[in-house]
Structure 1
Amino acid sequence: MAHQIQGVNHVDGMLPIPKLFAYGLQHVLAMYAGAVAVPIIIAQAMGLSEAQLIQLINADLFTCGIATLIQTLGFWKIGAKIPLIQGITFAAVSPMILIGQEHGMTSIYGAVIVAGIVTFLISHLFSRLIRFFPPVVTGTIITIIGITLMPVSVRWVGGGNPSSPEFASPINLLLATLTLAIVVAVYRFGKGFWSNVAVLVGLVVGTLASMALGVANLGAVGQAEWFAVVTPLAFGWPTFEFSSIISMVIVMLVVMTETTGDCIAIGEIVEKPIGKKELADCLRADGFATMIGGFLNSFPHTAFAQNVGLVAVTNVKSRFVVAASGIILVALGLFPKMAAVVASIPNPVLGGAGIAMFGMIIASGIRSLSKVQFDGTYNLMIVAISIGVSMIPLAVPSFYNHFPEWLKIVLHSGITFGSLMAVILNVLLNGYGNETHVVQKTRREKAIARLDKWKAERKVRRNQSI
């Protein structure tokens, strides 16, 4: 028993297989709703068939599992070997929709593959670039991501298609309200594990209610195969369009910033110091998994913040627990019937959960900004203008129609343009050296501590010699 307790509370601790499975499943349940949301959004925006949606969800889960195994187990200089579960980033949703609508799915995957390679190659340099992403910038970016995605959940609540006569019908609003109420209730009254899976519980209850009301259509579940291997390049050979690649590389710079924060946070929780080497290994895993995802019909990968919180709540620090989550995700990706069940969730149910899910992203951004000093600084202007310009394509989608095609890909994405504006304004108004990243701060504090220790030891030796 003592050995098992030690294993639970150590980053390299091994546990019996039943416990690995139980704890690993808990992580999968906590991230599942967020993991499958991106392929659902992309499929609906691109007008893909239900069969193609099932294919995307399976590829998503399969590659999330591979990415998680790479990050937790590691090989060569890839993977930080910490309990960090990987999922598909929301930051890439808007740019990918724009790329797909302009150039097709193959262009999305071409941009994803190149962005993954670039991420992999610049990982060791990113610790120098991180100075351009102080808390005022990262907090603004996270807030913009949530705000930009919120209209998606609103369309879901109404039923999906605003031009439909059934859009925002009483039955749709009832299902959305019920789902959201369940999410809030479970989040409020659930403890630990249950609080972390509030969104998933809401989706399950909402879907059951829609089945009782005759809204959900589970016909695709019966038609789906029990087992299927993920087929690489199922949408065709990737195509490489310059503006799309630039847009996705910018997104990956934002993703690298998010992963940096999660990596450092996990390191502190599990008491494993995250230095330049470990951070580079962590970011390389993101890039490598993103590149693989492009070939396997998936999308850019990042660390899932909700699972960082789960590690802190449960105090289960073993990276092999999250590696077990990776194995479970790979297995789920090989069973299309599971994906078909997810694909059958009605839009209003997704909308009710989406309001909570995307709203939590906004709240996370606000929480990050609450730690920023606004009095006597230019930070308020940075946040105001960055969020303001990010709202332009939401308010008037056709605003940039007369711009060159390569520029429209960047400007049409509120996330990308708002992020660029935050970085540029911070450099112009604050300078890039005024706020340093926590990695640099930690390193400086350690150096000061070592110097103080050396001075104290020298003083003791001097007193002893006297």
Structure 2
Amino acid sequence: MSIGMSKHPVDKVLPAGKLFLYGLQHVLAMYAGAVAVPLIIAAAAGLTKEQTAFLINADLFTCGIATLLQTLGIWKLGIRLPVIQGVTFAAVTPMVMMAKSGGMTVIFGSVIIAGLVTFLIAPFFGKMVRFFPPVVTGSVITIIGVSLLQVGVNWAAGGVGNPNYGSPIFLVVSGIVLLAILLINKYFKGFIANIAVLLGLVVGMIIAMPLGLVDFSGVGTAAWFGIDTPFYFGMPKFDAGAIISMILVMLVVMVESTGDFLAIGEMVDKKIGEEDLTRGLRADGLATMLGGVFNAFPYTAFAQNVGLVALTGVKSRFVVATSGIILVTMGLFPKLATIIASLPNAVLGGAGIAMFGIVAANGIKTLSKVDFEKNPHNLFIVAISIGIGLIPLVAPDFFKLFPDWSQTIVHSGITLGSVVAIVLNVFFNGSGEKVTQ
């Protein structure tokens, strides 16, 4: 790689030790979200414990491949930004229905075709970048951050479904992790400050262990090594209804990924153009196709990690590429994945509140570039898009009487808010406004 004074921070390769620690920090931040989807689908499909373990490791392996594809890029694939890939939650509801009615092979068949469609239409979708001036981008980033805060808060309380949800012990542990992150950021600089989240998680783990919050069960019985074999559950089945449903999911995912790509572009000071967006969405499509082959699911940019990029200020894409290598390794070594899975939700919660709050703050920072004085219509764009984008968060049953086919869209606040912001911006400002620096 050529050395030049003008090399962008995104393209700088850090020393190996820093790459590993920063990369591990990203993996720990996204791990709970990464394994949640395979656990939900396995339960819906009635899989055995062994099959569930295989599904989780297949997902981690494919997460890693997808992340490497997105960060390093090959040919006209990959946005080449610090973007970690994970399974989209937008696909959970339709996949649960497919798992119950047709089994895993119907899911994988629909995932393969939806990934192919995403790959093919990426150039057309890439043209959407001109519909994302700062008033839209800032609104979307703010919605992403506020929506994710629900995840962080639920982690802090012990996790949804936990019979002791909200227990003071969970809240204290989460509070200590958050306090540790704040103190490290205040009293340290440089490398130590940049791994504040990782150190906060370590502090939380040390406190949680004697309190009995860390469950290492399963580590002893987990296999040392496992290969992710294609079509493990059988050859994919191509059901028309399932395919249409999954294509709709991927259209939603493309809107969300666009918001995430632009959010990261803002945070690392790199303008995202039409070609960049097309490469990123193509990588989403190819990763999703690979997911169908390797017993996994649709992939998208993981919004959780957008906050970590903002919080640490570490912009190198090679850090997240290292995360991809760690994920592939975890997919091949189930025992390692099981150890990482022992991190309690309460510990993750303290870090989550900091990271997701930072995402929302960056959205507000982007909105500070918007001229509200000369163009008061921008106030309506921000107000209405955020208001509608938060409906699924504040009133989960608001759209429950809408038809089934629309549920994937209306339950995604990020998608709702993005669409409303784009439409209102075109209505008030026209479609010719370009994305500013």
| Greater gyration radius | 1
Q: Residues 252-287 of structure 1, C-alpha deviation per residue, up to 9 Å, x if partnerless?
A: 13313532564698695xxxx987656544443333
Trace 1:18-97 onto structure 2 (pairs within 5 A). Answer: 21-42=16-37, 48=43, 55=54, 58-71=57-70, 73-79=72-78, 82=80, 84-88=81-85, 92-93=88-89, 95-97=90-92
TM-fit CA distance, 1:116: 3.3
Farther off after superposition, 63-72 or 171-180 = 63-72
Partner of 1:196: 194
TM-fit CA distance, 1:218: 0.6
Instruction: Answer yes or no: is the 8 Å Cα contact 1:85–1:307 preserved in 2.
Output: no
Distance change (3 Å), C-alpha of 1:378 and 1:102: farther
TM-fit CA distance, 1:371: 1.9
Distance change (3 Å), C-alpha of 1:424 and 1:152: same
Trace 1:141-160 onto structure 2 (pairs within 5 A). Answer: 141-160=140-159
Write the distance in 2 (CA, Å) between the matches of 1:310 and 1:176. Answer: 17
Trace 1:13-412 onto structure 2 (pairs within 5 A). Answer: 21-42=16-37, 48=43, 55=54, 58-71=57-70, 73-79=72-78, 82=80, 84-88=81-85, 92-93=88-89, 95-104=90-99, 106=104, 112-161=111-160, 164=163, 166-232=164-230, 237=236, 240-259=242-261, 262=264, 277=275, 280-296=278-294, 297-302=296-301, 305=306, 326-375=324-373, 376-412=375-411
Write the distance in 2 (CA, Å) between the matches of 1:275 and 1:152. Answer: 31
Report the count of equivalent residues. 421
Instruction: Answer yes or no: is the 8 Å Cα contact 2:117–2:247 preserved in 1.
Output: no
Please, which runs of 5 or more residues in structure 2 have no aligned partner?
none
AA in 2 matched with 1:183: I
Write the distance in 2 (CA, Å) between the matches of 1:192 and 1:52. Answer: 43
Write the distance in 1 (CA, Å) between the matches of 2:223 and 2:434. Answer: 52
Q: Give the TM-score, by structure 2 length.
A: 0.80
Q: Give the TM-score, by structure 1 length.
A: 0.76
TM-fit CA distance, 1:64: 3.7
Write the distance in 2 (CA, Å) between the matches of 1:258 and 1:349. Answer: 25
Write the distance in 1 (CA, Å) between the matches of 2:11 and 2:139. Answer: 37
Instruction: Answer yes or no: is the 8 Å Cα contact 1:61–1:333 preserved in 2.
Output: yes
Farther off after superposition, 424-433 or 19-28 = 19-28
Write the distance in 2 (CA, Å) between the matches of 1:51 and 1:204. Answer: 29
Distance change (3 Å), C-alpha of 1:41 and 1:426: farther
Distance change (3 Å), C-alpha of 1:47 and 1:383: farther
TM-fit CA distance, 1:406: 0.6
AA in 2 matched with 1:249: L
Distance change (3 Å), C-alpha of 1:401 and 1:26: same
Distance change (3 Å), C-alpha of 1:299 and 1:206: farther
Write the distance in 1 (CA, Å) between the matches of 2:82 and 2:284. Answer: 11
3-state SS, counterpart of residue 219 of structure 2:
helix
Write the distance in 2 (CA, Å) between the matches of 1:8 and 1:335. Answer: 40
Q: CA RMSD in A?
A: 3.9
Identity, in percent, stands at: 43
Write the distance in 2 (CA, Å) between the matches of 1:305 and 1:20. Answer: 22
TM-fit CA distance, 1:294: 4.0
AA in 1 matched with 2:395: V
Distance change (3 Å), C-alpha of 1:101 and 1:199: farther
AA in 1 matched with 2:429: N
